Amino acid sequence: MREVGIIGVGHTKFGALGRVTSRELIVSAASEAMEMSQKGRDDIDAIYVGQLSPDIFEHQMHAAPGIPDYLGLANTPSTRVEAACASGALSVMQGAIAVASGFYDTVLSAGAEKMTSLPTSHVTEALAMCSDNEYEANLGITFPGAFAMMARAHEIQFGTNAEMRASVAVKAHKNAVHNKLAQFPKEITMEKAMHSLMIADPLTLYDCSPITDGAAAVMIVPWEEAKKFDGPKVKIKAFSQASDTMALHDRADITGFDTTKIAGRKAYKMAGLTPKDIDFVEVHDCFTIAEIIATEDLGFFEKGKGGYAVIDGETARDGHLPVNNSGGLKAKGHPIGATGVSQIAEVFKQLNDMVEPERQLKDINFGMTQNLGGSGSTIVAHIFERGN
């Protein structure tokens, strides 16, 4: 298996972007990635695109062929990848596997979602389809409800309280202030976070990620080629995936995700690293409790201590493990199919000193991403190394 790397990324603004299609958003992000990588249309062997539900959000099934069509890449194979909110990272992983195997030499992996055309109730119903329909969605359980159960269980067992969850939100918004691509680049107070509208007890409005439009893309090539490239680059040290039961009631413990633990262990083994080697991480904070759980499951903090780590500033930009320096899903935004690719684009830019000066991390060599699908039924993890 060949080693692989990324030599270009693209990223649209995240937010309510008006009358634009996911196809157009992908073209914008992909064009930026192609320009950065200095790759032309004839160089791209295949496209993998992560999208959750263009059929519901845009009334468009069979969405993948629209990408090469709009990019002017006639007859280039294009495949849609769907794994709920982990669709984006899985599109990158599939691209990495294709290049590592030697079947393709240059792959464009992208992700996008156009969500804001529908009312919130319709989006909530669409997302609920990613849970177990027989035992959850069909009975009225939404994802805010599912993660509320996890938050309550974590609170009962470990004391992870509203102040700790609110601290995740406050940190996310503070980090997003200097991210020009973020949906909500504004700070919030602890009081506002803790006393906002109750969504699903104990989760309030500021515990939840928003409904978002956006796209991101990356260019994947063999590492031998990437090493010769005179532009920005990162090495993909590891990629891994794990799956679990669809329904929460089939799991022995809902205060953590076995999928994250397994995918994390696989990634560390593939990279030859440990959690202590990771300099910063982008995790899937669809809800504030999800960030706390992820940092514990990935081995960065002892089980039950993730909330305390946030309170103590350990996950802040100037902490020993910066978490979601981009603003995360909470403040940067969460256009489902784009999220995992966006995380990877953020790590790429950080490792190449390409983000805004106010939020550029120093002395970093290894970054990690964790992208979650459903209520943890799918987890995709990646580890990246500075290329220069």
* pLDDT tens-digit series, residues 114-132: 999 999 999 999 999 999 9
Same domain, 245 and 273: yes
Mean pLDDT across the stretch 137-161?
97
* Catalytic residue (choose from 11, 154, 284, 334): 334
Can you spell out the DSSP letters for 301-353?
A: S-TT-HHHHHHTTTTSTTSSS-B-TT-HHHHT---HHHHHHHHHHHHHHHHTT
Contact 263/381 with Cβ under 8 angstroms? yes
The pLDDT-based confidence of 388 (bands split at 50, 70, 90) is confident
Contact 25/12 with Cβ under 8 angstroms? yes
In a domain, 123, yes or no: no
Same domain, 330 and 203: yes
CATH of the domain at 37: 3.40.47.10
Q: pLDDT by residue (tens digit) across 48-95?
A: 999 999 999 999 999 999 999 999 999 999 999 999 999 999 999 999
Same domain, 226 and 258: no
Q: pLDDT by residue (tens digit) across 245-287?
A: 999 999 999 999 999 999 999 999 999 999 999 999 999 999 9
Same domain, 185 and 173: yes
Same domain, 92 and 218: yes
> Which residues partner with 109 through β-bridges?
48, 218
Same domain, 154 and 220: no
Average pLDDT value over all residues in the chain: 97
Measured between alpha carbons, how far is 42 from 120 in angstroms, rounded to an integer?
Answer: 41
Mean pLDDT across the stretch 146-168?
98
Same domain, 279 and 373: yes
In a domain, 370, yes or no: yes
- What pLDDT, on a 0 to 100 scale, did the predictor assign at position 107? 98
In a domain, 150, yes or no: yes
In a domain, 125, yes or no: no
Contact 207/188 with Cβ under 8 angstroms? no
In a domain, 129, yes or no: no
Same domain, 151 and 53: no
In a domain, 341, yes or no: no
Same domain, 198 and 330: yes
- What pLDDT, on a 0 to 100 scale, did the predictor assign at position 247? 96
Measured between alpha carbons, how far is 242 from 259 in angstroms, rounded to an integer?
Answer: 5
Same domain, 62 and 152: no
208 counts as catalytic? no
Q: Which stretch of DSSP H or E encloses residue 380?
A: strand 378-386
- Last residue within a domain, chosen from 201, 234, 267: 234
Residue 11 lies in domain? 4-118+212-234
In a domain, 132, yes or no: no
Same domain, 86 and 163: no
Residue of 30, 62, 58 lying closest to 44 (CA atoms): 30
Mean pLDDT across the stretch 174-184?
98
Same domain, 167 and 38: no
286 counts as catalytic? no
- What pLDDT, on a 0 to 100 scale, did the predictor assign at position 160? 98
Mean pLDDT across the stretch 233-246?
98
Mean pLDDT across the stretch 224-253?
97
In a domain, 219, yes or no: yes
* Catalytic residue (choose from 85, 130, 208, 286): 85
Q: pLDDT by residue (tens digit) across 278-319?
A: 999 999 999 999 999 999 999 999 999 999 999 999 999 999
How many separate domains does the chain show?
Answer: 2
